[in-house]
Amino acid sequence: MKKNYVKVALVAVVAAAMSVSVLSSAQSAAKTFYIASDLPLQGGSADQSTSTNNAIKLLLKQMGGKAGAYTIKFREYDNSTAAKGSWDDAQCAKNAQAHVAKRDELGVMGTYNSGCAKIIVPILNQDPSGPMVMVSNANTNPGLTKAWGPGEPTKYYPTGLRNYWRVVTTDDNQGAAAASFAQSLGVKSVYVLNDRQTYGQGVATAFTSNAKKLGLNVLSAGDAGEGWDDKAPNYEALFTKIAALKPDMVYVGGIFDLNGGQLVKDKVKYLGDNTKVKFMMPDGFTGYPDFLALPEAQGAYLSFTGLSIDQFPKGGAAEKFQAAYLKEYKVPPTSSFSVYGAAAAQVILDAIARSNGTRKDVFAKMKTVDIPATKSVVGTRLKFDDAGDIMSRDITILIVKSNTETFVKKLTVK
């Protein structure tokens, strides 16, 4: 996190507090409010973010644009920049200030990237009429809710109140499940890479730690393995070095956006196909058509911090939502994360429906959200622990086959 952006943003929040200490009676009596999404709409994640927004729009349409007595509208925020092609620190801080300033906005669905969430959450936390709630469909870095890095998670909640929730489980669970699955494949040695960002380093650390506990020989140095340069034209030197160590598997902690295509191509070029040296990635590689289309991606394993779409229970709200999405948009959702975006919005709308229409009361009602599996758009119960983590800890293992993500098995972390 770049602290200068957060400091500027917090100053803006303090200034807002001087002029608006609470919602006026006229505002709290309003019948029309907004929920927002905060996602990267440019770069490699753009298609997935668009699909997520479409899922939220469909959910609102099915609800008649209502949550309880209130009319609900939708705003889309872009936390990416064209220059960067992904989420941007300054844009995340700017968006956080905008959320606080929009007095008719009651909750935020997002973010996709954990690093962006670590910038936005503290700003929303200090909203003078809140704190303002945020529910993520995709953040998996443990530090947002658990002791992980220095000062985490306390430093994200300066008021001492937890205003953040997520509908997917965390990377400590994902890493444990991935390491266990690797062992089940007969893997005895593994080289770990990370994309040098918050998410990638976190999931790589979790995998490394659990792999060592299981007795696997981790050939890479450091808690998170070796970072790759996302600006490199190729990875010949990296994989030539790794090839000499003769690993059974290469595990990649990171997102496909960060030159993942070249990384995948060069892994196969210098180490052999994914049956010779196994290849595994976390959910930062799921939902990317460009990844799935690569010949070198075939046979690679993926993990996802929830249920994959094809594993949603039949006969309930989840199955009906999939059918409705296909009818509305003529194509299926880009990834499971897209539908989990609708689940995150479903949670926010449940809290709004039971509130008095103020941010403060929406925050209070979030603590008692409990949507049963039969009504959840992802088919699992939407209930949270005191830290803000979803109580369902399902991990789906997938394999890339014929350019699609194909189910292998479901693991539930106890």
List, for residues 147-160, the tens digit of each pLDDT value.
999 999 999 999 99
Query: H/E element holding 239?
Result: helix 236-245
CA-wise closest residue to 177 among 251, 234, 268, 75 = 251
List, for residues 313-352, the tens digit of each pLDDT value.
999 999 999 999 999 999 999 999 999 999 999 999 999 9
The answer to whether the beta carbons of residues 304 and 173 sit under 8 Å apart is: no
- Is the domain spanning 171-304+395-412 CATH 3.40.50.300? The answer is no
The answer on pLDDT for 42 being more than 80 is yes
Segments making up each domain of the chain, as ranges: 3-169+314-383, 171-304+395-412
Alpha-carbon dihedral angle through residues 345, 350, 356, 360, given to the nearest 10 degrees? -60
Answer whether 3-169+314-383 and 171-304+395-412 agree in fold.
yes
CATH for 3-169+314-383 (3.90.1150.10, 3.40.50.11390, 3.40.50.2300, 3.10.450.50) = 3.40.50.2300
List, for residues 202-260, the tens digit of each pLDDT value.
999 999 999 999 999 999 999 999 999 999 999 999 999 999 999 999 999 999 999 99
Helix, strand or coil, per DSSP, at residue 201: helix
This prediction has a pTM of 0.89
